[in-house]
């Protein structure tokens, strides 16, 4: 899951990841984040096997990657975005859109939040399906 960046771009990415790692409380690595996003999308394609808490946690991988896109130079951001494009398209294809977000947002959602928080996997495990049934009946999944 590599990405080719110049030394200057790697330094830039590292500075952002260090700040995000401090917020997360653990070390974030670009190659791991990309690999985890690709793996999560594949899990959704096969049929997501976990619960809503884990699904939302897994969406956080893409939020972190978007933070990198937003906080790096245009050329670095473009390379990261290009690396994510195929998985993002696969995520959209393997999920279904919702009218309401699955998390409570205290602001108008940005483009990436609309892509992530307004979608659920088309195929899912019984536990997640049960949680989603509550949502479909007018309940909230907000955590």
* Alpha-carbon span 80 to 93, nearest angstrom: 21
Alpha carbon 86 to its chain centroid, in Å, reads 13
pLDDT at 126: 85
Q: How far apart are the first and last CA of the chain?
A: 31
Token pair 């972190």 is found at 64
Q: Which residue has the tokens 């808490």?
A: 53
Q: Residue 97's beta-bridge partner residues? A: 119
Helix, strand, coil percent content, the chain, rounded in steps of 5:
65, 5, 30
Can you give the pLDDT at residue 129? 85
> Is the predicted pLDDT of residue 143 greater than 50, yes or no?
no
Confidence band of 140 (pLDDT split at 50, 70, 90): low
For the residues 110-119, what does the mean pLDDT come to? 90
In this prediction, residue 106 has a pLDDT band, given cuts at 50, 70 and 90, of confident
Domain positions in the chain are: 7-136
**pTM score, whole prediction:** 0.89
Between residues 118 and 130, the one the model is more confident about = 118
């Amino acid at each position: 899951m590599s990405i080719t960046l110049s030394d200057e771009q790697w330094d830039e990415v590292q500075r952002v990841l260090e700040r995000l790692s401090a917020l997360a409380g653990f070390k974030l690595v670009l190659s791991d984040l990309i690999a985890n996003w690709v793996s999560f999308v594949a899990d959704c394609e096969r049929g997501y096997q976990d619960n809503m808490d884990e699904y939302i946690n897994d969406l956080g991988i893409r939020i972190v990657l978007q933070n990198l896109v937003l906080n790096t130079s245009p050329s670095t951001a473009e390379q990261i975005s290009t690396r994510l494009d195929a998985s993002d398209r696969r995520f959209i294809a393997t999920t279904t859109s919702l009218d309401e977000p699955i998390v409570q947002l205290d602001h108008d959602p940005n483009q990436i939040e609309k892509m992530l928080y307004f979608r659920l996997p088309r195929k899912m495990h019984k536990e997640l399906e049960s949680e989603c049934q509550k949502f479909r009946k007018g309940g909230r999944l907000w955590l």
